[in-house]
C-alpha cells in the first residue's frame, strides 16, 4: 500500500466515522426529551421549586416564631403554677394551724 492509497483509505474511514457520529447524534437528538418545549418545562419546574423553597422558608420562620411564643407561654404557666402551689401550701398550713387552734380552744373550754 503506497502513500496515496493510505491517505485515501484513512480519508474514507474518517468520513465514515464522521457520518456514523452525525447519524448517532441526530438519532439521539430525535429521540431524546430535551427539546425546546422540554426546556420551557424545566424552567417552569425550576420556578415552582424556587417558590416551594420560599414557602418552606416562610413556614420554618413561622414555626420558629410559634415555638418561641408557646415556650414563653409554657414558662409563664409553670411560674403561675408554682405560685399557686405555694399559695395552696400556705393555705393548707394556715388551715392546719387554725384547726389546731380550734381544737385547743375546745379542749380548754
Q: Where are the domains of the chain?
A: 1-32, 39-108
Q: What was the pLDDT predicted at 74?
A: 97
Residue 64 has which C-alpha cell? Answer: 420558629
pLDDT tens string for the chain (109 positions)? 799 999 999 999 999 999 999 999 988 888 775 555 577 888 889 999 999 999 999 999 999 999 999 999 999 999 999 999 999 999 999 999 999 999 999 888 6
Q: What was the pLDDT predicted at 66?
A: 97
Q: What was the pLDDT predicted at 34?
A: 57
Which 8-state DSSP code applies to residue 83? H
Amino acid at each position: 500500500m503506497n502513500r496515496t492509497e493510505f491517505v485515501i483509505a484513512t480519508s474514507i474511514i474518517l468520513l465514515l466515522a464522521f457520518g456514523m457520529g452525525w447519524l448517532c447524534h441526530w438519532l439521539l437528538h430525535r429521540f431524546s426529551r430535551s427539546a425546546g418545549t422540554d426546556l420551557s418545562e424545566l424552567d417552569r419546574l425550576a420556578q415552582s421549586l424556587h417558590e416551594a423553597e420560599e414557602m418552606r422558608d416562610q413556614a420554618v420562620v413561622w414555626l420558629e416564631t410559634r415555638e418561641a411564643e408557646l415556650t414563653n407561654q409554657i414558662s409563664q404557666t409553670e411560674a403561675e403554677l408554682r405560685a399557686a402551689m405555694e399559695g395552696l401550701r400556705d393555705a393548707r398550713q394556715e388551715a392546719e394551724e387554725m384547726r389546731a387552734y380550734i381544737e385547743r380552744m375546745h379542749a380548754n373550754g
